[in-house]
Amino acid sequence: MANEKILVVDDDPNICELLRLYLEKEGFDVTIENDGISALNIFPKLQPDLVLLDIMLPSLDGWQVCREMRKTSQTPIIMLTAKGETFDKVLGLELGADDYITKPFDTKEVVARIKAVLRRTHSPASSSSSIKEVSYDNLSINLTNYELKVSGLVVDTPPKELELIYHLASNPNRVYTRDQLLDEVWGFEYFGDSRTIDVHVKRLREKLEGVSDKWELKTVWGVGYKFETK
């Protein structure tokens, strides 16, 4: 996983240098930008493997930067926020962020989160014999190349949404609590709250609603969610 490119976007020079120090020590190639416009300008040229994106930025805030990046790329984005409100976290996830870290943070946690996200989104697809794919009526979920097809058409889907629907669809009719999904899909490195799951399910339903009457992404009230086949 060494030499992967990380774009750090934060207007605090102390935080930037601290992140650079720790990430370069782990073998990452680090580029730093201090405002939103500069980040968007360098993003297509740099083509980073992951973006660490602060919310409170000059010129363009992190929400706007995330929204613009998601128009052209599914590059993993981890939001950095000094705010701990659920609203901030939910908004970032709705805009397509893959994870979020609240300041002040432990640098070891940041490194662990980055490695976890990169493991999920850069899982080796070289062995064709172990292609991860599940298919149902008008639905195909391929986790090897991170592709969601609905009625034969590829639908742009953030990595975390795709991993969530793959996990549910791979275990049809099994009910999962929100905490189970956080643990099994996001992994032990993730320190989220259950609202995260609700946001991703809501976005998936927007893509999948009415596609087939043979399956359904269903809420089990008071418990969690399941991929129900009929």
Q: What is the pLDDT of residue 125?
A: 44
What does the H/E/C string look like for 57-74?
Answer: CCCCCHHHHHHHHHHHCC
Query: Residue 66: how many CA atoms within 13 Å on its side-chain side?
Result: 27
Q: From 115, 171, 118, 117, select the one nearest 141 (Cα to Cα).
A: 171
Same-domain check for residues 23 and 112:
yes
C-alpha span between 166 and 185 (Å, rounded): 10
Domain of 47 in residue numbering reads as 5-121
| Residues with pLDDT less than 70, the chain | 1-2, 83-94, 121-130, 187-193
E-only strand ranges, the chain: 5-9, 29-33, 50-54, 77-81, 99-102, 133-136, 139-142, 147-150, 153-155, 176-177, 215-220, 224-229
Q: Which CATH number belongs to the domain containing residue 192 in this structure?
A: 1.10.10.10
Same-domain check for residues 80 and 152:
no
Q: Which CATH number belongs to the domain containing residue 14 in this structure?
A: 3.40.50.2300
Task: Confirm if 38 and 56 have CB atoms less than 8 A apart.
Answer: no
Instruction: Report how many domains make up the chain.
Output: 2
Same-domain check for residues 180 and 198:
yes
Name the domain boundary from 91, 121, 151: 121
Same-domain check for residues 87 and 185:
no
Same-domain check for residues 72 and 157:
no
Q: Which residues contact 228 (CB under 8 A, 6 or more apart)?
A: 172, 173, 215, 216, 217, 218
The enclosing H or E element of 209 equals none
Q: What is the pLDDT of residue 129?
A: 44
Q: What predicted TM-score, i.e. pTM, was given to this entire model? A: 0.61
Q: Is 153 helix (H, G, I), strand (E, B) or coil?
A: strand
Same-domain check for residues 152 and 112:
no
Same-domain check for residues 104 and 15:
yes
Chain Cα centroid distance, residue 52: 12
Name the domain boundary from 102, 121, 140: 121
Q: What is the pLDDT of residue 58?
A: 85
Same-domain check for residues 116 and 145:
no
C-alpha span between 71 and 130 (Å, rounded): 31
Same-domain check for residues 45 and 66:
yes
Q: From 100, 119, 111, select the one nearest 30 (Cα to Cα).
A: 111
Q: What is the pLDDT of residues 125-160, one digit of tens each?
A: 433 446 788 999 999 999 888 889 999 999 988 888
**Long-range contact pairs involving 134-137 (C-beta distance under 8 Å, separation at least 24):** 134/166, 134/169, 134/170, 136/169, 136/212, 136/214, 136/215, 136/229, 137/212, 137/214, 137/215
C-alpha span between 157 and 147 (Å, rounded): 8
Same-domain check for residues 114 and 151:
no
Name the domain boundary from 121, 152, 177: 121
Same-domain check for residues 104 and 144:
no
